[in-house]
Amino acid sequence: MAASAILRVEKLKKYFPVKSLPFSRKRSFLKAVDDVTFTLHAGETLGIVGESGCGKTTVGRTIMRIYEPTSGQCWWRVGDSAETMEDFFCYKNAQMRRIRHQIQMIFQDPYASLNPRMTVQDIISEGLKANGLVSGGREMINTVADIMEKVGLLPEYMKRYPHEFSGGQRQRIGIARVIVMRPKVVICDEPVSALDVSVQAQIINLLEDLRSEFGLTYLFIAHDLSVVKHISDRIAVMYLGKIVEKTDTDRLFEAPLHPYTQGLLQAIPVPDPHQRKSGHRMLIAGDIPSPIDPPEGCRFVKRCSKAMDRCRVETPALLEVREGHEVACFLYPNPRE
């Protein structure tokens, strides 16, 4: 881990208040993200995977401050020196505005995330205008044309409306409007899950090209393991608002430690019918429990085949059990104890 940290999320919590019964005094919370800590290193891609409802999107949206965090910090490297980091969760609006264009987000649904009544030019230049990055006129048009070419769109389409584009092209527009601001960190919130498989590959390749060209750092949120495997350097596996395992991509796929990760990897369909019969597949039983009322102890205890008594009482912490391999499970003893 030679690369220096560019963004560090510490003990991030996001609870959503849930409407209880009328006249009831009890207020319950949906614990979408519960104590999540991770570091993004400059130039890397960190994948976050998990079932739907595990809180991975909420992590991204809270870092963007689309949602206000319940608690926790988000340290952000100011300037180029590795030492000075500031927690932008305590920034006021005006301060946030100054760094806004440096942390950006690509949205999941390319159909819903583009305003149907704005031209492509307006959509792409919106961020530039809002952050005062480019003065208007010719320069603006040139910047937009440049970025359209970079993401594989014809600049002639500048005056068209989103409904005239296919899903893949729309996602390219969504990428262009983010990249045009030259951000440092891009949060990709399932950027390909709404697209055809053939188009998915194109968009993934585009994202990789852009990463090397502009020196971007990605936080790549997805539920598709094959996509994450392809693009990520490291992967964090989330379950019910917590990170259960975090390590390098290769190591995660070769030697997963957490029972949940093991089950998740086993669930990947094998395209070879002969191989399919030979191996015994351990599948995860049951459904993901409600995050309003998560189980006591380890969150995964009710679906875990290796659950012990201790798991029902204590919550395992995310510990580095091997070098560069963190896992939150009592099966693996804390090396420091």
Residues that bind another protein (CB under 8 A): 64, 66, 97, 100-101, 104-105, 107, 109, 112-118, 126-127, 130-131, 159-161, 163-164, 174, 177-178, 181
Q: Could you say which DSSP state residue 315 is in?
A: P
- Least separation in angstroms between residue 117's CB and another protein is 4
Closer residue to another protein, CB minimum distance, 164 or 293? 164
Integer Cα distance of 322 and 36 in angstroms: 20
- Least separation in angstroms between residue 98's CB and another protein is 10
Q: What residue type is assigned to position 111 of the chain?
A: Y
Integer Cα distance of 254 and 112 in angstroms: 37
The neighbour count for residue 198, using CB atoms within 10 Å, is 8
- Least separation in angstroms between residue 161's CB and another protein is 5
Closer residue to another protein, CB minimum distance, 174 or 259? 174
Question: Is the Cβ–Cβ distance between 55 and 238 less than 8 Å?
Answer: yes
Closer residue to another protein, CB minimum distance, 223 or 251? 223
Closer residue to another protein, CB minimum distance, 73 or 113? 113
Integer Cα distance of 275 and 271 in angstroms: 8
- Least separation in angstroms between residue 48's CB and another protein is 18
Closer residue to another protein, CB minimum distance, 93 or 278? 93
Closer residue to another protein, CB minimum distance, 178 or 240? 178
- Least separation in angstroms between residue 31's CB and another protein is 22
3-class secondary structure per residue, 243-292? EEEEEEHHHHHHCCCCHHHHHHHHCCCCCCHHHHHHCCCCCCCCCCCCCC
Q: Could you say which DSSP state residue 132 is in?
A: T
- Least separation in angstroms between residue 114's CB and another protein is 6
Integer Cα distance of 44 and 233 in angstroms: 6
Tell me how far CA of residue 100 lies from CA of 1, 77, 127, 161, in angstroms: 27, 13, 10, 26
Integer Cα distance of 110 and 105 in angstroms: 13
- Least separation in angstroms between residue 238's CB and another protein is 21
Integer Cα distance of 124 and 147 in angstroms: 9
Closer residue to another protein, CB minimum distance, 41 or 101? 101
Question: Is the Cβ–Cβ distance between 195 and 110 less than 8 Å?
Answer: yes
Closer residue to another protein, CB minimum distance, 96 or 270? 96
Nearest to 109 by CA among 18, 195, 227, 220: 195
- Least separation in angstroms between residue 132's CB and another protein is 10
